Amino acid sequence: MNVLKRCIYAFSIVSLAIMNIQCKGDKKSQETTTAEAVTIEKTAYGTTPTGDKVDRYKLKNQKGMEVDIITYGGIITSLKVPNKAGVSEEIVLGFNKLEQYTKDNPYFGAIIGRYGNRIAKAQFSLDGTTYKLAANNDANNLHGGPEGFHRVIWTAEEAKGGDTATLKLKYVSKDMEEGFPGNLTVFVTYSLTKDNTLDVIYEATTDKKTIVNLTQHSYFNLSGDFAKTILDHEIVIDADQLVPVDANLIPTGKLDDVTHTPFDFRKPKAIGKEIETTNEQLKRGLGYDHCWVLNNQDKGFRFAASAYEPTSGRLLEVFTDEPGIQLYTGNFLDGTLPTRDAKTYAHRTGLCLETQHYPDSPNQKDFPTTVLNPGDKYQSKTSFKFSTK
């Protein structure tokens, strides 16, 4: 009997020890899972024609979202998110090779600066001095010029902490680069969270009075099928007013009410519903290529717009502290640019939601200012939140 008790006691001790090891193992597993809620990985991406090496950073979470960003142009080359069935698919237009990004293209996935959108007659004045810029959009300057921020090499610093993976890019734009005054130090920080949100934070300082208007130029097709157009995407834009443009797509200087026009997206509406109407503004843009005046500008960071694709169930919500948002519906995509699977991007197979100040603000006294003074800091934040419904 004593022998039996000793055996039972010994067995109990061993069992408790095993259970303790398992518990520690489970705890370690949980800690690893938490630590790896997001990951960031660096790989070589290629070399530019001028010999600059370009790196790619993959930010990834456990919910099926991953974002690839390269140091050339700060470009988002890939963005995958799940559909309503849980299948992660590519949802941004892009290329397979660096070579294609270094050639002329419609700013796929790039950081835009110093000035996003158009500046009339490729010039502006500050304190009595007129600054001449490159005319790369007929007589106007577009997206900072032909050698804007979309074509420069950014330095990168990666970080991972808790539930967020972060890539902080830096570029110093020299005084009079592309015609803009001041040595401008720019930081753009991409952060992927565990809940399928991509935050983009812009910061800049200058040593000389200048203008700044930064944005992100990804083309979305939430269907995950780039053979399909984006005309079925249902859009919401929280804006009562539009920035109307002239025949050269330059703001007229006034603001128009969107009520009873094809530009009223205050309730969900498919892009294709009114895009082919005879509205004069739509004819000028060959579709939607306009800046909306976002509501509640005094509230800072808030909901701005959303896009929903019914087949995939993907929903993109955009939040920002910017006064405006440009909806562009891929009107100039013409089937000449290659997709990742050796096909081509056809007319209106991607849409952009570019958070920004209004076009041509430096020449429009009644628009919110884009002037940055020495000693001040330019700061802006935009979030792209993905879900399904």
Active site residues: 217, 354
Q: Tell me the three-class secondary structure of 300-355, residue by residue.
A: CCEEEEEEEECCCCEEEEEEECCCEEEEECCCCCCCCCECCCCCECCCCCCEEEEE
The type of residue at 35 is A
Please say whether the beta carbons of 88 and 103 come within 8 A. Answer: no
67: its two tokens: 């974002």
DSSP class per residue in 21-51: HHHHHHHHHHHHHHHTSEEEEEEEEEE-TTS
Residues 6+ apart with CB under 8 A from 315: 222, 306, 307, 308, 386, 387, 388, 389
What is the radius of gyration, based on Cα positions, of the chain?
A: 25
262: its two tokens: 């094809």
